Amino acid sequence: MARAAVSGRLTWRLATVTGSRWETPSVRTLVLDVPDWPGHLPGQHIDLRLTAPDGYRAQRSYSIASSWAGTGPIELTVQRLDDGEVSPYLTDTVEVGDQLELRGPVGGWFVWRETEPAPVLLVAGGSGVVPLMAMIRARGAVRGRQPFRLIYSVRTPADVCYAEELRRRVRDDAGLDVHLLYTRKAPEDSPATPKRIDVATLNTHGWPPDFGASCFVCGPTGFVEAAADILVALGHEPRRIRTERFGGTS
Amino acid sequence: MSAVTPQPAIMNPETAADYTMVHSFGGYTTNVPMDDLLDGKAWIAYKFDGEDLDPEHGGPARMLIPHLYFWKSAKWVNGLQLINEDEPGFWEAAGYHMYGDPWLEQRYQGD
Amino acid sequence: MNELDGNAMAGDLLEVFAADATSARFTCAGCGHADALATLRMWGPAPGRVGRCPHCEDVVLRVVRAPDRIFLDLRGAVRLEFSVSGS
Protein backbone atom coordinates (compact mmCIF):
# COMPACT_ATOMS: atom_id res chain seq x y z
CA MET A 1 0.00 0.00 0.00
CA ALA A 2 2.94 2.32 0.59
CA ARG A 3 3.76 2.02 -3.10
CA ALA A 4 0.83 4.29 -3.82
CA ALA A 5 2.76 7.19 -2.32
CA VAL A 6 5.99 6.56 -4.19
CA SER A 7 4.76 5.77 -7.70
CA GLY A 8 7.06 7.52 -10.14
CA ARG A 9 4.93 7.47 -13.26
CA LEU A 10 1.90 9.70 -12.94
CA THR A 11 -0.49 9.50 -15.85
CA TRP A 12 -3.92 10.87 -16.52
CA ARG A 13 -6.51 8.13 -16.69
CA LEU A 14 -10.20 7.93 -17.50
CA ALA A 15 -12.40 6.96 -14.60
CA THR A 16 -16.02 5.91 -15.02
CA VAL A 17 -18.74 7.11 -12.68
CA THR A 18 -20.51 3.96 -11.46
CA GLY A 19 -22.62 5.47 -8.71
CA SER A 20 -23.44 8.57 -6.75
CA ARG A 21 -25.29 9.69 -3.66
CA TRP A 22 -26.09 12.98 -1.99
CA GLU A 23 -24.56 13.57 1.42
CA THR A 24 -26.29 16.94 1.88
CA PRO A 25 -28.30 19.17 -0.52
CA SER A 26 -25.05 20.63 -1.87
CA VAL A 27 -22.57 17.80 -1.37
CA ARG A 28 -22.43 14.76 -3.62
CA THR A 29 -20.32 11.61 -3.48
CA LEU A 30 -19.22 10.12 -6.78
CA VAL A 31 -18.22 6.47 -6.99
CA LEU A 32 -15.50 6.01 -9.58
CA ASP A 33 -14.14 2.93 -11.25
CA VAL A 34 -10.49 3.67 -12.05
CA PRO A 35 -8.66 1.09 -14.19
CA ASP A 36 -5.43 -0.19 -12.59
CA TRP A 37 -5.84 1.96 -9.49
CA PRO A 38 -2.62 1.35 -7.50
CA GLY A 39 -4.28 1.96 -4.15
CA HIS A 40 -4.00 4.97 -1.90
CA LEU A 41 -3.34 6.13 1.64
CA PRO A 42 -6.07 7.94 3.61
CA GLY A 43 -5.61 11.67 3.15
CA GLN A 44 -4.31 11.50 -0.41
CA HIS A 45 -6.10 13.24 -3.24
CA ILE A 46 -6.53 13.10 -6.99
CA ASP A 47 -6.21 15.86 -9.57
CA LEU A 48 -9.23 16.06 -11.86
CA ARG A 49 -9.09 17.65 -15.29
CA LEU A 50 -12.05 18.86 -17.35
CA THR A 51 -11.57 19.78 -21.00
CA ALA A 52 -14.20 21.92 -22.73
CA PRO A 53 -15.03 21.43 -26.44
CA ASP A 54 -12.91 24.50 -27.26
CA GLY A 55 -9.91 22.96 -25.54
CA TYR A 56 -10.13 25.06 -22.38
CA ARG A 57 -8.94 23.07 -19.38
CA ALA A 58 -9.75 23.36 -15.72
CA GLN A 59 -7.95 21.30 -13.11
CA ARG A 60 -8.87 20.82 -9.45
CA SER A 61 -7.76 18.58 -6.61
CA TYR A 62 -10.25 16.41 -4.71
CA SER A 63 -9.52 14.36 -1.62
CA ILE A 64 -10.31 10.68 -1.84
CA ALA A 65 -13.15 10.00 0.58
CA SER A 66 -12.92 6.22 0.64
CA SER A 67 -10.31 4.02 2.23
CA TRP A 68 -8.62 1.43 0.10
CA ALA A 69 -9.49 -2.22 0.60
CA GLY A 70 -7.18 -3.58 -2.07
CA THR A 71 -9.81 -3.59 -4.79
CA GLY A 72 -12.93 -1.79 -5.95
CA PRO A 73 -13.88 1.77 -6.78
CA ILE A 74 -12.75 5.00 -5.13
CA GLU A 75 -15.07 7.73 -3.90
CA LEU A 76 -14.86 11.49 -4.12
CA THR A 77 -17.11 13.80 -2.11
CA VAL A 78 -17.64 17.15 -3.79
CA GLN A 79 -19.13 20.31 -2.35
CA ARG A 80 -20.92 22.53 -4.83
CA LEU A 81 -19.40 26.02 -4.74
CA ASP A 82 -21.84 28.57 -6.15
CA ASP A 83 -19.10 30.43 -7.98
CA GLY A 84 -17.13 27.30 -8.76
CA GLU A 85 -15.97 26.45 -12.23
CA VAL A 86 -15.73 22.69 -11.74
CA SER A 87 -17.74 21.67 -8.69
CA PRO A 88 -21.22 22.53 -10.06
CA TYR A 89 -20.46 20.32 -13.06
CA LEU A 90 -19.58 17.42 -10.77
CA THR A 91 -22.59 17.87 -8.50
CA ASP A 92 -25.26 18.87 -11.00
CA THR A 93 -24.31 17.53 -14.43
CA VAL A 94 -22.19 14.39 -14.16
CA GLU A 95 -24.20 11.18 -14.41
CA VAL A 96 -23.53 7.50 -13.86
CA GLY A 97 -21.74 6.24 -16.95
CA ASP A 98 -19.86 9.50 -17.58
CA GLN A 99 -16.09 9.48 -17.64
CA LEU A 100 -13.73 11.83 -15.81
CA GLU A 101 -10.03 12.37 -16.40
CA LEU A 102 -7.93 12.16 -13.25
CA ARG A 103 -4.45 11.41 -11.99
CA GLY A 104 -3.36 10.07 -8.65
CA PRO A 105 -3.14 9.27 -5.95
CA VAL A 106 -0.97 12.22 -4.93
CA GLY A 107 0.10 13.74 -1.65
CA GLY A 108 2.25 11.98 0.94
CA TRP A 109 2.35 14.48 3.77
CA PHE A 110 -1.27 14.93 4.78
CA VAL A 111 -1.68 11.22 5.27
CA TRP A 112 -2.50 8.93 8.22
CA ARG A 113 -0.47 5.75 8.44
CA GLU A 114 -1.96 2.89 10.44
CA THR A 115 1.51 1.98 11.76
CA GLU A 116 1.61 5.26 13.70
CA PRO A 117 0.65 4.46 17.31
CA ALA A 118 -0.25 8.01 18.39
CA PRO A 119 -3.81 9.10 19.13
CA VAL A 120 -5.27 11.21 16.36
CA LEU A 121 -7.14 14.51 16.38
CA LEU A 122 -9.06 15.38 13.23
CA VAL A 123 -10.31 18.95 12.85
CA ALA A 124 -12.65 19.51 9.92
CA GLY A 125 -14.13 22.71 8.57
CA GLY A 126 -17.00 22.04 6.15
CA SER A 127 -15.87 19.96 3.18
CA GLY A 128 -12.50 19.56 4.89
CA VAL A 129 -14.05 16.49 6.50
CA VAL A 130 -13.50 14.47 3.32
CA PRO A 131 -9.86 13.38 3.72
CA LEU A 132 -10.42 12.98 7.46
CA MET A 133 -13.34 10.64 6.76
CA ALA A 134 -10.98 8.54 4.65
CA MET A 135 -8.76 8.27 7.72
CA ILE A 136 -11.70 7.27 9.93
CA ARG A 137 -12.77 4.67 7.37
CA ALA A 138 -9.23 3.32 7.07
CA ARG A 139 -8.94 2.99 10.82
CA GLY A 140 -12.25 1.15 10.85
CA ALA A 141 -11.18 -1.20 8.09
CA VAL A 142 -7.98 -2.26 9.84
CA ARG A 143 -9.64 -2.16 13.28
CA GLY A 144 -7.07 0.36 14.39
CA ARG A 145 -6.62 0.77 18.12
CA GLN A 146 -5.40 4.35 18.05
CA PRO A 147 -8.10 6.55 19.58
CA PHE A 148 -9.51 9.07 17.13
CA ARG A 149 -11.28 12.32 17.91
CA LEU A 150 -13.06 14.31 15.21
CA ILE A 151 -14.06 17.93 15.72
CA TYR A 152 -16.26 18.83 12.76
CA SER A 153 -17.40 22.39 12.15
CA VAL A 154 -20.45 22.96 9.94
CA ARG A 155 -22.88 25.79 9.36
CA THR A 156 -26.13 24.00 10.21
CA PRO A 157 -27.22 20.45 11.08
CA ALA A 158 -28.27 19.95 7.44
CA ASP A 159 -24.65 20.44 6.38
CA VAL A 160 -23.23 17.44 8.22
CA CYS A 161 -21.72 15.00 5.70
CA TYR A 162 -21.71 11.30 6.47
CA ALA A 163 -24.05 12.00 9.42
CA GLU A 164 -25.55 8.54 9.57
CA GLU A 165 -22.24 6.78 9.08
CA LEU A 166 -20.52 8.86 11.75
CA ARG A 167 -23.33 8.09 14.22
CA ARG A 168 -23.01 4.37 13.48
CA ARG A 169 -19.23 4.37 13.82
CA VAL A 170 -19.32 6.24 17.11
CA ARG A 171 -21.96 3.86 18.40
CA ASP A 172 -20.00 0.77 17.40
CA ASP A 173 -16.49 1.89 18.26
CA ALA A 174 -15.49 3.18 21.67
CA GLY A 175 -12.23 4.51 20.26
CA LEU A 176 -13.92 7.11 18.02
CA ASP A 177 -15.37 10.38 19.30
CA VAL A 178 -17.10 12.99 17.20
CA HIS A 179 -17.92 16.52 18.29
CA LEU A 180 -20.00 18.68 15.98
CA LEU A 181 -19.63 22.43 16.02
CA TYR A 182 -22.27 24.66 14.42
CA THR A 183 -21.36 28.12 13.18
CA ARG A 184 -24.77 29.41 12.01
CA LYS A 185 -27.55 27.31 13.49
CA ALA A 186 -27.42 24.62 16.15
CA PRO A 187 -29.90 21.71 16.34
CA GLU A 188 -33.30 22.50 17.92
CA ASP A 189 -32.74 20.25 20.89
CA SER A 190 -29.18 21.33 21.55
CA PRO A 191 -28.06 23.71 24.29
CA ALA A 192 -25.12 24.72 22.08
CA THR A 193 -25.02 28.23 20.66
CA PRO A 194 -23.56 28.78 17.20
CA LYS A 195 -19.90 29.72 17.24
CA ARG A 196 -16.69 29.33 15.30
CA ILE A 197 -13.79 27.08 16.21
CA ASP A 198 -12.24 28.30 19.45
CA VAL A 199 -9.88 27.47 22.28
CA ALA A 200 -12.64 26.00 24.47
CA THR A 201 -13.73 23.54 21.79
CA LEU A 202 -10.25 22.30 20.93
CA ASN A 203 -9.30 22.14 24.59
CA THR A 204 -12.38 20.21 25.66
CA HIS A 205 -12.81 17.89 22.68
CA GLY A 206 -9.24 17.52 21.48
CA TRP A 207 -6.39 15.60 23.05
CA PRO A 208 -4.22 17.01 25.84
CA PRO A 209 -1.01 18.29 24.23
CA ASP A 210 1.22 15.95 26.19
CA PHE A 211 -0.46 12.92 24.59
CA GLY A 212 1.63 13.65 21.49
CA ALA A 213 -1.37 13.28 19.21
CA SER A 214 -1.11 13.55 15.45
CA CYS A 215 -3.35 16.45 14.45
CA PHE A 216 -4.87 16.77 10.98
CA VAL A 217 -6.68 20.03 10.18
CA CYS A 218 -8.53 20.49 6.90
CA GLY A 219 -10.99 23.01 5.49
CA PRO A 220 -11.12 26.57 4.19
CA THR A 221 -7.92 28.54 4.59
CA GLY A 222 -9.20 30.84 7.35
CA PHE A 223 -10.54 27.91 9.36
CA VAL A 224 -7.32 25.93 9.06
CA GLU A 225 -5.17 28.84 10.18
CA ALA A 226 -7.41 29.61 13.14
CA ALA A 227 -7.54 25.99 14.30
CA ALA A 228 -3.82 25.35 13.82
CA ASP A 229 -2.93 28.52 15.70
CA ILE A 230 -5.14 27.46 18.60
CA LEU A 231 -3.59 23.99 18.70
CA VAL A 232 -0.11 25.50 18.89
CA ALA A 233 -1.26 27.93 21.58
CA LEU A 234 -2.66 25.00 23.57
CA GLY A 235 0.76 23.42 23.53
CA HIS A 236 0.59 20.91 20.68
CA GLU A 237 3.93 20.38 18.98
CA PRO A 238 3.80 22.26 15.64
CA ARG A 239 5.49 19.36 13.87
CA ARG A 240 2.65 17.07 14.92
CA ILE A 241 0.07 19.32 13.25
CA ARG A 242 -0.57 18.73 9.56
CA THR A 243 -2.83 20.99 7.57
CA GLU A 244 -4.55 20.98 4.21
CA ARG A 245 -6.15 24.16 2.94
CA PHE A 246 -9.08 23.95 0.58
CA GLY A 247 -9.09 27.62 -0.41
CA GLY A 248 -11.96 30.03 0.21
CA THR A 249 -12.02 32.47 3.07
CA SER A 250 -14.00 31.26 6.06
CA MET B 1 -11.76 52.14 -19.95
CA SER B 2 -9.46 55.00 -19.02
CA ALA B 3 -5.81 54.57 -19.67
CA VAL B 4 -2.73 56.60 -20.39
CA THR B 5 0.26 55.72 -22.46
CA PRO B 6 3.44 55.18 -20.47
CA GLN B 7 5.16 57.81 -22.60
CA PRO B 8 4.53 60.76 -20.29
CA ALA B 9 5.72 58.59 -17.41
CA ILE B 10 9.06 58.15 -19.10
CA MET B 11 10.52 61.64 -18.79
CA ASN B 12 12.84 61.38 -21.73
CA PRO B 13 11.96 58.77 -24.37
CA GLU B 14 15.31 59.33 -25.97
CA THR B 15 16.95 57.85 -22.91
CA ALA B 16 19.67 55.34 -23.57
CA ALA B 17 17.74 52.66 -21.69
CA ASP B 18 16.57 49.97 -24.11
CA TYR B 19 14.50 47.93 -21.65
CA THR B 20 12.11 48.39 -18.79
CA MET B 21 11.15 46.34 -15.77
CA VAL B 22 7.51 46.77 -14.80
CA HIS B 23 7.06 46.44 -11.05
CA SER B 24 3.86 45.33 -9.33
CA PHE B 25 2.71 45.14 -5.73
CA GLY B 26 3.73 41.85 -4.17
CA GLY B 27 7.18 41.87 -5.71
CA TYR B 28 6.13 40.67 -9.15
CA THR B 29 7.99 42.04 -12.15
CA THR B 30 7.96 41.63 -15.90
CA ASN B 31 10.51 42.84 -18.45
CA VAL B 32 9.46 44.70 -21.60
CA PRO B 33 11.67 46.35 -24.24
CA MET B 34 11.32 50.15 -24.12
CA ASP B 35 10.26 50.17 -27.74
CA ASP B 36 7.21 47.98 -26.97
CA LEU B 37 5.88 50.57 -24.53
CA LEU B 38 6.07 53.63 -26.76
CA ASP B 39 4.02 55.08 -29.62
CA GLY B 40 0.66 53.83 -28.43
CA LYS B 41 1.66 50.17 -28.26
CA ALA B 42 1.05 50.01 -24.50
CA TRP B 43 -1.31 51.55 -21.95
CA ILE B 44 -1.58 51.99 -18.22
CA ALA B 45 -5.25 51.44 -17.40
CA TYR B 46 -6.82 52.79 -14.21
CA LYS B 47 -10.57 53.02 -14.85
CA PHE B 48 -13.20 50.80 -16.42
CA ASP B 49 -16.79 51.88 -17.17
CA GLY B 50 -16.09 55.14 -15.36
CA GLU B 51 -15.22 53.29 -12.15
CA ASP B 52 -11.79 52.81 -10.61
CA LEU B 53 -10.27 49.60 -11.89
CA ASP B 54 -11.15 46.68 -9.61
CA PRO B 55 -8.21 44.99 -7.86
CA GLU B 56 -9.45 41.71 -9.33
CA HIS B 57 -8.74 43.16 -12.78
CA GLY B 58 -5.44 44.68 -11.80
CA GLY B 59 -6.48 47.96 -10.17
CA PRO B 60 -5.52 50.57 -9.11
CA ALA B 61 -3.37 50.54 -12.23
CA ARG B 62 -2.37 47.84 -14.68
CA MET B 63 -0.34 47.58 -17.84
CA LEU B 64 -2.01 46.68 -21.11
CA ILE B 65 0.26 45.51 -23.93
CA PRO B 66 -2.08 44.01 -26.53
CA HIS B 67 0.61 42.85 -28.94
CA LEU B 68 2.34 40.61 -26.37
CA TYR B 69 1.13 37.62 -24.38
CA PHE B 70 -1.13 38.48 -21.53
CA TRP B 71 1.25 37.84 -18.64
CA LYS B 72 3.22 40.90 -19.84
CA SER B 73 0.14 43.04 -19.11
CA ALA B 74 1.08 43.32 -15.47
CA LYS B 75 -1.59 43.91 -12.85
CA TRP B 76 -1.18 46.13 -9.79
CA VAL B 77 1.61 48.18 -11.29
CA ASN B 78 3.52 50.35 -8.85
CA GLY B 79 6.64 51.26 -10.78
CA LEU B 80 8.48 51.39 -14.07
CA GLN B 81 12.22 50.90 -14.00
CA LEU B 82 14.49 51.73 -16.91
CA ILE B 83 17.27 49.20 -17.44
CA ASN B 84 20.08 49.00 -19.97
CA GLU B 85 20.17 45.24 -20.44
CA ASP B 86 17.24 42.89 -20.74
CA GLU B 87 16.68 40.94 -17.51
CA PRO B 88 14.09 38.30 -16.75
CA GLY B 89 11.17 39.39 -14.60
CA PHE B 90 9.48 37.16 -12.05
CA TRP B 91 7.79 34.69 -14.39
CA GLU B 92 10.43 34.95 -17.10
CA ALA B 93 12.96 33.79 -14.53
CA ALA B 94 10.63 30.91 -13.73
CA GLY B 95 10.34 29.71 -17.34
CA TYR B 96 8.23 32.13 -19.34
CA HIS B 97 9.60 33.67 -22.53
CA MET B 98 11.65 36.88 -22.28
CA TYR B 99 9.66 38.65 -25.01
CA GLY B 100 6.31 36.88 -25.48
CA ASP B 101 5.26 37.44 -29.11
CA PRO B 102 1.98 35.56 -29.65
CA TRP B 103 2.51 35.43 -33.42
CA LEU B 104 5.66 33.40 -32.85
CA GLU B 105 4.03 31.47 -29.96
CA GLN B 106 6.77 32.58 -27.59
CA ARG B 107 5.23 31.36 -24.37
CA TYR B 108 8.12 29.66 -22.62
CA GLN B 109 11.93 29.88 -22.53
CA GLY B 110 13.36 28.15 -25.54
CA ASP B 111 10.22 28.57 -27.70
CA MET C 1 -6.87 32.83 -7.19
CA ASN C 2 -7.29 30.91 -3.99
CA GLU C 3 -4.62 30.57 -1.37
CA LEU C 4 -3.95 26.89 -1.06
CA ASP C 5 -0.95 25.11 0.37
CA GLY C 6 1.82 22.92 -0.96
CA ASN C 7 -0.42 19.84 -0.86
CA ALA C 8 -2.00 21.24 -4.04
CA MET C 9 1.19 20.84 -6.07
CA ALA C 10 1.71 17.20 -5.13
CA GLY C 11 0.58 16.12 -8.59
CA ASP C 12 2.81 18.55 -10.48
CA LEU C 13 5.83 17.63 -8.39
CA LEU C 14 5.21 13.90 -8.81
CA GLU C 15 5.82 14.48 -12.52
CA VAL C 16 9.30 15.67 -11.63
CA PHE C 17 10.37 13.66 -8.60
CA ALA C 18 10.28 9.90 -8.26
CA ALA C 19 8.47 10.08 -4.93
CA ASP C 20 6.07 12.45 -3.23
CA ALA C 21 7.88 15.76 -2.73
CA THR C 22 5.38 17.52 -0.49
CA SER C 23 6.96 15.82 2.52
CA ALA C 24 10.42 17.11 1.58
CA ARG C 25 11.62 19.88 3.87
CA PHE C 26 12.69 23.23 2.46
CA THR C 27 14.90 25.78 4.16
CA CYS C 28 13.84 29.31 3.24
CA ALA C 29 16.67 31.31 1.69
CA GLY C 30 15.16 34.45 3.15
CA CYS C 31 14.54 33.68 6.82
CA GLY C 32 15.90 30.18 7.41
CA HIS C 33 12.51 28.73 8.37
CA ALA C 34 12.31 25.01 7.56
CA ASP C 35 9.21 22.86 7.07
CA ALA C 36 7.54 20.49 4.63
CA LEU C 37 6.87 21.81 1.11
CA ALA C 38 3.22 20.96 1.89
CA THR C 39 3.17 23.97 4.24
CA LEU C 40 4.10 26.53 1.60
CA ARG C 41 1.41 29.12 0.92
CA MET C 42 0.55 28.50 -2.72
CA TRP C 43 -0.81 30.96 -5.26
CA GLY C 44 -1.67 30.32 -8.88
CA PRO C 45 -1.88 28.15 -10.96
CA ALA C 46 -1.71 30.89 -13.61
CA PRO C 47 0.73 31.98 -14.94
CA GLY C 48 2.41 29.42 -12.66
CA ARG C 49 2.43 28.27 -9.06
CA VAL C 50 4.19 30.36 -6.44
CA GLY C 51 5.05 28.81 -3.07
CA ARG C 52 5.74 31.30 -0.29
CA CYS C 53 7.38 30.70 3.06
CA PRO C 54 4.69 30.45 5.78
CA HIS C 55 6.97 32.37 8.11
CA CYS C 56 8.29 35.34 6.08
CA GLU C 57 6.24 35.09 2.84
CA ASP C 58 9.32 35.18 0.61
CA VAL C 59 8.98 33.16 -2.59
CA VAL C 60 10.50 29.73 -2.02
CA LEU C 61 9.62 28.10 -5.32
CA ARG C 62 7.93 28.67 -8.66
CA VAL C 63 6.45 25.97 -10.90
CA VAL C 64 5.58 26.68 -14.54
CA ARG C 65 3.84 23.91 -16.44
CA ALA C 66 4.27 24.02 -20.23
CA PRO C 67 2.62 21.29 -22.35
CA ASP C 68 5.91 19.44 -22.75
CA ARG C 69 8.05 20.86 -19.97
CA ILE C 70 7.96 21.67 -16.27
CA PHE C 71 10.09 24.54 -14.96
CA LEU C 72 10.98 24.41 -11.30
CA ASP C 73 12.65 27.50 -9.87
CA LEU C 74 14.00 26.77 -6.41
CA ARG C 75 16.25 29.74 -5.79
CA GLY C 76 14.14 30.71 -2.76
CA ALA C 77 15.10 27.47 -1.02
CA VAL C 78 18.58 26.95 0.35
CA ARG C 79 18.07 23.22 -0.05
CA LEU C 80 15.46 20.49 -0.04
CA GLU C 81 15.71 17.54 2.31
CA PHE C 82 14.07 14.27 1.24
CA SER C 83 13.56 11.30 3.54
CA VAL C 84 14.65 8.02 2.00
CA SER C 85 14.66 4.62 3.60
CA GLY C 86 18.00 3.84 5.15
CA SER C 87 20.31 1.29 3.54
Confidence of residue C58 (pLDDT cuts 50, 70, 90): very high
Top residue of B90, B98, B105, B106 to mutate, by most chain C CBs within 10 Å, is: B90
CATH of domain A120-242: 3.40.50.80
Per residue of chain A (250 residues), what is the pLDDT tens digit? 344 444 445 889 999 999 999 999 999 999 999 999 999 999 999 999 999 999 999 999 999 999 999 999 999 999 999 888 899 999 999 999 999 999 999 999 999 999 999 999 999 999 999 999 999 999 999 999 999 999 999 999 999 999 999 999 999 999 999 999 999 999 998 888 999 999 999 999 999 999 999 999 999 999 999 999 999 999 999 999 999 999 754 4
- Complex-level ipTM: 0.92
Residue of C nearest to B107 (CA): C66
Q: Which residues of C touch A221 (CB under 8 A)?
A: 2-4
| Confidence class for position C80, pLDDT limits 50, 70, 90 | very high
pLDDT given at position A8: 42
Distance from CA of B106 to the nearest CA of C (A): 12
Q: What's the gap in Å between the CA of B11 and the closest CA on chain C?
A: 31
Q: pLDDT digits over B41-54, tens only?
A: 999 999 888 889 99
CA dist., res. A111 & res. A8, Å (int): 18
pLDDT at A6: 42
Chain C residues within an 8 Å CB radius of A107: 7, 10, 20, 22, 38
**In whole angstroms, what is the distance from residue A248 CA to residue A243 CA?**
15
* CATH class of residue range B2-7+16-104: alpha beta
Report the chain C residue with the minimal C-alpha distance to residue A59: C45
Domain boundaries, chain A: 3-106, 120-242
Query: Domain A3-106 belongs to what topology?
Result: Elongation Factor Tu (Ef-tu); domain 3 (2.40.30)
Contact C60, C73 (CB under 8 A): no
Domain ranges for chain B, please list them: 2-7+16-104
* Burial degree of A73 (CB within 10 A; 0-12, 13-18, 19+): middle
What is the 8-class DSSP label of residue B72?
G
CB atoms C66 and B94 under 8 Å: no
Distance in angstroms (rounded) separating the CA atoms of residues B100 and B94:
14
